[in-house]
Homo-oligomer: A and B are copies of this chain.
Amino acid sequence: MNLLFHRFLASARIPPCISGIHPFIVDEKGDELPVPRLRMDSEQFIRGKKKLADMSGDGVETMVDNLQGIAPDLARYTIEFPYGEVLVRPGLDIRSRQIATVAALTALGNAPVQLKAHISMALNVGVTRKEVTEIITQMAVYAGFPAALNGMAVAKDVFSERDKKGLS
C-alpha cells in the first residue's frame, strides 16, 4: 500500500473505547461542522482496510488517496461499505463477487477507471485472464457490442500493465 494511504490509515487510529462516548453530531442546517473522524476505527473500516489489502486493490487505494483533500468521507464510505460490509459477506465467494462486478461495470460502460481497478482485483483473487475476457465478451449480448469492446480495451490495458509487473 502506498505511503499516503498508510498515513491516512494511521490518522484513523483512535482508541475504540472513545467512540461510544461521542455521539455523531447531526446539523440539518448544514453548518460546516468537521465530519467526526471518531468512527475511523469502526468494524467496517477495519474490515474494509483488511479486505482491500487481501485483494491488493491498489487502484482503489490511489483513488481513496486522491479524495483525502476534498471528500474524506466518500473515501471512508468506499472502504466501509463496499469493502467492509458487502464484499466480506458470506454467501458468495470473492471470485464470484469480482465476476459480478466486472460484468456490471462493463455493462454500465461509464466507469472505466473502476472497471480497470476491478479487473485487476479479479485477477488478484484468482479469476483468470481468460475468464475476464469471457465475462466481457458475454456483455456484448446483454449490453451491446460497444460496451463489450470498450470493456475489452480496458482489460487489454490491465493485462499489459500486469505483464510489466510480472503479475498473472
Interface residues of A (CB under 8 A from B): 16, 20, 23-33, 35, 39, 43, 47, 63, 66-67, 69-71, 73-74, 77-78, 81-82, 85-94, 96-97, 99-111, 113-114, 130-131, 133-150, 152-153, 155-156, 159
Contact = CB atoms under 8 A, between A and B. Distances in A.
17 contacts: A26-B88, A28-B90, A30-B93, A31-B90, A35-B90, A67-B149, A86-B138, A92-B134, A97-B138, A100-B102, A100-B138, A100-B139, A103-B104, A107-B108, A109-B110, A109-B111, A114-B150
A86 B25 contact: no
A145 B145 contact: no
A67 B77 CA distance: 23
